[in-house]
Amino acid sequence: MSADENEALQHLAAVPNWELDRVVGGLRAAREQWRASQHRKREFGGREFPSRDALRSVVESLRGALFPMRLGPPDLRQESEDFYVGHTLDAALNALLVQVRLELHYAARHKPGDAATLELQSVAIVHDFAAALPGVRTLLDSDVLAAFQGDPAARSVDEVLLCYPGIIAIIHHRLAHVLYGLGVPLLARIVAEIAHSETGIDLHPGAKIGPGFFIDHGTGVVIGETAVIGARVRLYQAVTLGAKRFEKDEDGTLQKGLPRHPVVEDDVVIYAGATVLGRITIGAGSTIGGNVWLTRSVPAGSHVAQGGLRQEPGSVQ
């Protein structure tokens, strides 16, 4: 390296110049190119999309309101529970209303709309969501009890609620599923993905999951949008309830919303690493062994294991 080059490098190190005008201009050009390719108009003003950070705060508050003495603030006393729950819900629901407004306005951006109508819809969605919370709490109580009864290592229901990632995932899912049903699927998906990031468990908010659901260990579990799960079902880590194929239109576009994930009936156990694909039915009371790859329906009471393994009489392979 020459003396002049060394001097130039020393000058750059002493006075860093990131050429931010050029970088900012390049990023603006990339944004404008993307918006043009998506046929979006340039908007000025506030935020266009719901906020992941805002929804994370809302769900944290809802977790505390659902289970105040275990997931609420550390200094909460039982005589103050109702005050805390009411205050927390009021703040959380008002914050949720802001996010619902954003999704509805975003969804209606290409349609001639009436702002007053969208506001009424937003308020109605949050009102119905709030009304669903007692039922969500009842479902979650059944999930917590199922985890306690299904895991010999669990010493109490409180330990389950405080420590088990599967319970955190199902809390988010129960809340997200209500939002999904109320017509705000983007908010629902964000709530689900917050839990996915935290636990490694990927539950699509569209999946219908019955009471007494238990995910043991949990990491790597994937449940698709159109899956239907009955009561008292137990899954272990790395189980996939996925789609076998994706139907396409004549122009090659994927068809959305078609039933493509499994139906799992009541009292089924699916062990670690099993992959169950397609719109098939796992009959009530069946057991699916670890690492099984299953793409066909099995009747009630089936015991499915890997090929070559010893199976119980009447089992399926």
- Pick the more confident residue, 305 or 256: 305
Range(s) for CATH 1.10.3130.10 in the chain? 49-200
Class in CATH terms, 49-200: mainly alpha
Give me the chain's average pLDDT, please. 91
Q: What is the pLDDT of residues 159-200, one digit of tens each?
A: 999 999 999 999 999 999 999 999 999 999 999 999 999 999
Q: Strands 222-223 and 202-203, how do they pair?
A: parallel
Q: Helix 52-66 and helix 81-107: axis angle, to 10°? A: 150
Q: What is the pLDDT of residues 89-101, one digit of tens each?
A: 999 999 999 999 9
Q: What is the pLDDT of residues 13-24, one digit of tens each?
A: 666 788 899 999
Domain 220-317 bears CATH identifier 2.160.10.10: yes
Range(s) for CATH 2.160.10.10 in the chain? 220-317
Percent of the chain whose predicted confidence (pLDDT) is above 70: 91
For residues 25-43, average pLDDT: 83
